[in-house]
Homo-oligomer: A and B are copies of this chain.
Amino acid sequence: MSERDGRPRTAQLQVVEQIKSYILDRRLRAGDPLPTEPELMDAIGASRSSVREAIRTLSALDIVEVRHGHGTFVGSLSLSAMVESLAFRSLLGTTTDYRVLSDVVSIRQLMEQGFAGMIIDGLGSTERTKLADLAQQMCDLADRGKPYVEQDRAFHLLLLQPIGNELVVQLTGAFWEVQSRVATTLDVSDRNWQRTAHAHVEIVDAAAAHDLDRLQLAIEEHYAPVKEQIRTLATLAADTDPLPEERPGA
């Protein structure tokens, strides 16, 4: 009763696929309840171990969400899995640490600059007010020497929201989290927070002025301090940690 289609050789993958199909066939949405473990065991015909391990797999991908003592539900399908994977990767390796961080920042800048035109087009008065408010908060906090992590995250997400590309927003959120997490682990305390904070103001002003070139410059100016800092950290680490870099050239 288990060797139906030969595609997935292992029972684990079979159960994973069957749970996926269960969700797809009934067009369940995020938050909808799934059958209990005994019910799944019965419906699929697998043991509890297999069902639980399959649920673990799906849980790691945020396809399902398990609430202790309550039940299993369809997950929010976020990019949390990518965050975990990237954050872990950036902690591995030696000088590679800053490679991931640098790559993440580059892509963030690229997305914002690339969508600058759509940001200008989609900027309504409501968003402009909120963005300006957040930028002002960041400036105030920076002047008092305090961090402004949440405002920064909210700012960039709100900036990209109106362009209508949900994936870009989620990618930015994911990259922001990777950057934030790795930075705190490496004890990256930014000294030129004020410069970055004021860059946000310029971004809003440039977007409000419908000035594409000015907006792209403002975005570049925003990411300049971080990139510079990563560069100095990398060279610093290269000096104190003289590892033989692999040279692919013959």
Q: Which positions in A face B, CB cutoff 8 Å?
A: 10, 12, 20, 23-24, 27-29, 49, 52-53, 56-63, 68, 77-79, 81-82, 84-86, 88-89, 91-94, 99-100, 103-104, 106-107, 110-111, 113-115, 165-168, 171
Inter-subunit contact B100/A88 (CB<8 Å): no
Additional pairs, 8, CB under 8 Å, beyond known A49-B52, A62-B85, A63-B85: A20-B88, A53-B53, A53-B56, A61-B81, A63-B88, A78-B85, A81-B81, A103-B166
Inter-subunit contact B60/A61 (CB<8 Å): yes
Partner of A60, one of B56, B78, B88, B111: B56
A59 proximity list for chain B (CB < 8 A): 57
A106 proximity list for chain B (CB < 8 A): 165, 168
C-alpha spacing A242/B169, complex, angstroms: 27
Partner of A92, one of B23, B103, B104: B23
Inter-subunit contact A60/B81 (CB<8 Å): yes
Partner of A85, one of B28, B81, B92, B114: B81
Nearest-CB residue, chain B, relative to A168: B107
